[in-house]
Chain A
Amino acid sequence: PNEPGAAVLRYKGSKHFRQRVVCSVLSGRAIRIDDIRPFPTTTDYQEEVQMGIMGHEAAFLRLVDKLTNGTQVEINETGTTLRFKPGYVTGGRESHDCGTSRSLGWFIEGLLPLALFSKTPFNLTLSGITNDDVDLSVDALKAVTLPLLKHFGVAEEGGLELKVKRRGAPPGGGGLVEFRCPIVRELKPIDFTEPGLIKRIRGNAYCTKVSPQIANRVAESSRGLLNRLLPDVWVHTDHHAGRTGGESPGFALSLVAESTTGVLLVAETAADKGTLPEDLGNFGSKLILEEIKNGGCVDSSHQSLAMLLMVLCPEDVSRLRIGKLTRYSVTYLRHLRDFFGAYFRLKPDPQTSTVLVSCQGIGFKNLSRGAT
C-alpha cells in the first residue's frame, strides 16, 4: 500500500482534514480535497461566512511541511481546494505557533503517528491553547494518549515526553509545550481486550489567571459522585498565574479512570464563560462515569488513534475491545480502508455492550530510520 505511484485519493468537504493529511503522509498516497467550505449557495449575508481552509488547518499543513521532506502543498486562491503530495517524515527540532483556533491537542494527536515513523525523533516546541473544550487537552495527552502508545511497544527505552511549560486557555492561548517522541522501526500488535475493574480515578483541575480557590472547588465537586463508587479518587489542583498562565483566564478538569488491567479512560471538560466551578466538576464526573459505563479498553476519544496504530502494525492480528463506536471512528475506519486497504472485523459483544475490533496489520515499517 505504500507505493507512491498509486492513484490520487479525492475527497470533498472540510471534514476530517487532519485524518486525511496524516493518512496521506503515512501511506504515501497523494490526496486532493475539493469544496473545502465552498462559497455557500444559500445564505443571508448577515452571518459571517467562513470560506476555504481555516487557520488551524493551514497551521497544521505548515507544521507537517516543516517536519517532512518533499511534501508538496497546493492550495487554490480561495482556499477551497487542496492538493497534497506527501513527502518523507524527517522530524527533528522545530518550534511552531499553532494559533488559537484549535488547541495543541488537535495538533499533537494528529502528529503522533507521524512522529513514530520519522527519520529522527520529534522534538517540538508548540505554542497555542493547552486546554479547551473541543480537543484533548495536554493533561489527557500526558495521562492517557502517551501511555496508550506503550501498548504498541513504543518508548520502552523512554524519550516520550510532553512538558507543559505554560498554560494557555482560549481565546488568547499563550500556552507552551515541549513534545518529544521516540521513533520505532515497527510497532507491536496488541491484544487488549480485558477491561478489568476500575481501581482508581485520578484527575487534574487546572486554573489560570483566576483565583486558586477555583481549582479547589472544581476538584472538590468532582469527587462527590465518584466517591459513591470508589474511595480512591484524587484530583490534583494546578494553579497558574503570571508568566506561566498564558493570555486568558480559564479552568478545566480532566479525569482519568484506571483499571486493574492498565486500561486508562479519560473524560474532560473545560470552562466556558460563566461556568461555575461546581458545575464543571460535577459535569466532569458524569462524563467519566459515562466512559466507564461504555466500557472497552480505550475511551471514545482514543478509538481512532488505536485503530490507526493497529493498521500500522506488522502483519499480525491486533485485537481491541472498545465501547461504543463513535461517529468519528466510523469515518476513520473508512479512511483507513481508502488509504491502506485495511478492513477491520467488528464484532459486537451484546453481553457487555462493547465491540471487539480486530484487524491485520499491513506490515508497516519505518524505512527512513537509520540502521542502529
Chain B
Amino acid sequence: AAERFLQRKSQNVNLQDLVYGRPGRGGQDNAAKEGEDSASEEEGGDQEQDDDFFTIRGGGNKGSKRRGHSSSGGGDAESEDDDDDEDGGGGVGGGDRSKFYPDREALDDWEGTGDDCAIEAIRNKFVTGDWGSGAGANGAGGGGAGDG
C-alpha cells in the first residue's frame, strides 16, 4: 500500500508544466497558462519561445524529470524514447509513430497466477469483474478495490 501511495504521489506532478514548460521560466509561459484568450497577444513572442523550447528539450532538467515521471508510472513510454537520439541514424521509427510500443521487458508479468498477479489487478475493468466494489469501473485502475 505504501508503494502504491508513493506511485500515486509521483504521478501527481503537474503534467501541464511538463508539457508546456514550467511557469517560473518566463513571463510568456505564465501568461499563456493563465488565460487562453491572451493567445493572440503573444503571437509575436511565440517564435522566440519556441527556440527556447527546442534547445531545452532532450537534455537537462526537464527531460530527466519527464523520464523520471514516466518510469515511475511503471512499464510505459520508455520505448518511445527515440526522441533524443534519432537524428543521426534515421531509423524506421523516425520518432514519427503514434503506435504504442512498449518494451518487451517492461511489460507486466501477465503470466503470473495467484491473488495479486497482474491479471487479477485489472479484473474489475471487465464486465466479468466485481461490479459492486465501491469505485467500480473507475476504481479498478488502482487495483485496490477487488476482494476476489
Chain A residues in the interface with B (C-beta under 8 A): 6-7, 9-19, 35, 37-38, 40, 43, 47, 50, 54, 101-102, 105-106, 109, 133-136, 194-199, 225, 228-231, 260, 267-268, 283, 285-287, 289-295, 299-305, 324-328, 330-331, 333-334, 337-338, 341, 343-348, 350-355, 360
Contacts and interface: CB of A to CB of B under 8 A. Distances in A.
A299 B92 contact: no
Q: Which of the listed residues B87, B100, B139 has the most CB atoms from chain A within 10 Å of its own CB?
A: B100
B8 A14 contact: no
A204 to B, nearest CB: 16
Contacts of B86: 13-15
Interface in B80-114: 80-81, 83, 86-90, 92-102, 104, 107-108, 110-111
A198 B96 contact: no
B100 A353 contact: no
B80 A230 contact: no
Contacts of B100: 267, 287, 291, 299-301, 326
7 contacts: A101-B92, A199-B127, A289-B118, A302-B98, A305-B98, A343-B32, A352-B142
B3 interface: no
A354 B142 CA distance: 10
Contacts, number: 202
A229 B53 contact: no
Interface of B: 8-9, 11-13, 15-16, 18-20, 32-33, 36, 39-40, 43, 46-47, 50, 53-54, 66, 70, 73, 75-77, 80-81, 83, 86-90, 92-102, 104, 107-108, 110-111, 118-119, 121-123, 125-129, 131, 135, 137-142
B94 A326 contact: no
A348 B15 CA distance: 7
Given A286-B107, A338-B50, A353 B11 contact: yes
Given A351-B138, A351-B141, A360-B36, A229 B98 contact: no
Given A106-B97, A338-B46, A330 B126 contact: no
B107 A225 contact: no
Contacts of A196: 137
A345 B16 contact: yes
A353 to B, nearest CB: 5
A354 B88 CA distance: 34
B95 A15 contact: yes
Contact of B90 (A16, A37, A304, A325): A37
A52 to B, nearest CB: 9
Nearest to A330: B19
Contacts of A352: 138-142
B19 A15 contact: no
Contacts of B97: 106, 134-135, 328
Given A136-B98, A326-B80, A40 B139 contact: no
Q: Which of the listed residues B40, B128, B131 has the most CB atoms from chain A within 10 Å of its own CB?
A: B128
A344 B54 CA distance: 19
Contact of B76 (A10, A260, A324, A338): A324
B138 A331 contact: no
A312 to B, nearest CB: 16
Q: Which of the listed residues B8, B11, B15 has the most CB atoms from chain A within 10 Å of its own CB?
A: B15
